Each structure stands twice: as C-alpha cells, then as structure tokens.
Amino acid sequence: MLIAQLSDVHVRRRGELYKGLVDSNRMFAEAIEHLRGLDRRPDLVLLTGDLVDEGHADEYANVRELLKALDLPYLIVPGNHDERVNFTTAFYNHAYLPAEGPLHYCVDEFPVRIVALDSCPPGEHHGDVTAGGLEWLRATLDADLEKPTLVLMHHPPFTSGIPYLDDYRYFEGGLLASIIEGRKNIEAVLCGHVHRSMVRRWAGTVVMACPSTTTQIALRLAPGAEPCSYAGPPACLLHLWTAEGLVSHISYIGEFEGPYPFF
Ligand SMILES: [Fe+2]
Ligand SMILES: [Fe+2]
C-alpha cells in the first residue's frame, strides 16, 4: 500500500497569496499534480492539517475546488489554522468525521489502520488533546493490538530545537507517550505543523513531520533565532507499506535536472 501525505497546504481565497507573498493555492494544485504524476498511484492521501490559512468558509470552498483534481481517496486532519465548524461543513460528506467536538476518528478499511487525533484546541496555535481525547485514543488503540497502525495528528509531540516553532508545540507529549508506549503495532505517528521534515524516536515508535506544500520554516537552531521561512522546496511524504514494514520517502515537488543514467 502506498500512502501519500500532504501537509500545511494553507489554501487562501482564490487570487490571494499566503502571507501576501506566496501562491499557496497554485502550490497545492502542483502538489496534487505531483501525486497524479507519480509512477505508482497512491492508494490513499493524508492531509495532516492547516488545509486553509485563516479558517474562512471561502478558503474551504477553494480547497474543495482544488481537490476536485485529486482522483484518489483522501482523509483530512485539522490543524491550528483550520476552523472546526467551517472545516466539517466544507467536508460534510466525509462520513468518518465526527459531527461535533474534537475531530478524532479511526478508519479501518485499509491494510493499515488510521487513527487520527485532533490536536487543536479551538482558537489556539499550540497542540493539546483533552483528557477525553486521550481516553478515546487509548480505547481505540486497545481495540486492535495487532493490525499495523498509523497515528495522525497535526502537532508533533516533541521539541524541535527551532525556538520559534517550539512556542507553538504540543506541550503534553508525556501523557500521549504513556498511551502510545508499548504498542508494537504503531508503525509511526505522522504529523505536520512544523513545515519541515523531522524524525524522532518517541514512545517506542517513530514520529515524522511532513514538509509543507508551500513555505518551509527556516532551519535556525540558535536560541532567540529570528523566525523566517522560505518558499520551498515544497515536498510531501510517501509512505510505502509492505509486509516488511513502513518505508517513508520525501518526495520533492518541482522540476529538477535529470533523469541522469544510473550507470
Ligand atoms: Fe502550517
Ligand atoms: Fe500548524
């Protein structure tokens, strides 16, 4: 099974630029074209949050318009730039989304079980899951201790070392780790939010953060570093599931010189 992950697409209203500078709408369309042009068709696409930039209904209308070009099944997870009511209204036909409350869900119709956790307290930019959400997660994971499982959430539950990102991180990673820990069937926790690729061993599994299809946060690790970002290189993740396990690839979106002969 091939699973593509797109994250932090930050779609704006038609004709509007992200941060007034970057054409995130065009870049999302290009990311969709990129998936359609892969030599192996993904079986599933995961969109791990920040589908839009300001949570407006018009932005969601534009996301849906752009997603018409994606002829693949996809699942969506909210990010801190999403607005819960507008999000669920726009995706009313995504039956796996709860009608109200935090948007936790489980989709169990693929060879890999998908367990999505809503890490977005309404109106906040940092990540958190309520006690009820953590209990939901425990019960959902307890229901199948065998089937390979991917946990999705927008905020990576660790400190990145990039100071201006860590102000908006998931703060209670320890509580979450205590639920994930010891479950051999959790192949990975897939996140977004940080607009960069990051990997960390965590709670006995691997956490991966997906790059954005639009701006990439600058890699600055000095304390007090000035926040900034770059218009690329945009990328997505391709998670290939086989009987051997999960292999995750970064797939850059754009035109590059080549292909050169291998030998
Ligand atoms: Fe984002
Ligand atoms: Fe985010």
From the CA of 222, how far away is ligand 2's center (Å)?
Answer: 22
Q: Which ligand is nearest to the CA of 125?
A: 2
Per-residue model confidence as pLDDT tens digits over 146-172: 999 999 999 999 999 999 999 999 998
From the CA of 145, how far away is ligand 1's center (Å)?
Answer: 32
From the CA of 117, how far away is ligand 2's center (Å)?
Answer: 14
Q: Which pLDDT value is given to residue 82?
A: 98
Per-residue model confidence as pLDDT tens digits over 176-224: 999 999 999 999 999 999 999 999 999 999 999 999 999 999 999 999 9
Per-residue model confidence as pLDDT tens digits over 241-261: 999 999 999 999 999 999 999
Q: Which ligand is nearest to the CA of 127?
A: 2
Checking if the pLDDT of 232 tops 90, the result is no
Q: Which ligand is nearest to the CA of 155?
A: 2
Average pLDDT over all residues of the chain: 97
Q: Which pLDDT value is given to residue 254?
A: 95
| Nearest of 148, 150, 134, 143 to residue 207 by alpha carbon | 150
Task: Mark the residues whose beta carbon lies below 5 A from ion ligand 2.
Answer: 50, 79-80, 193
Q: Which pLDDT value is given to residue 91?
A: 98
Longest dimension (CA), the chain: 56
From the CA of 147, how far away is ligand 1's center (Å)?
Answer: 30
Domains detected in the chain: 8-252 (3.60.21.10)
Contacts of 257 (CB under 8 A, 6+ apart): none
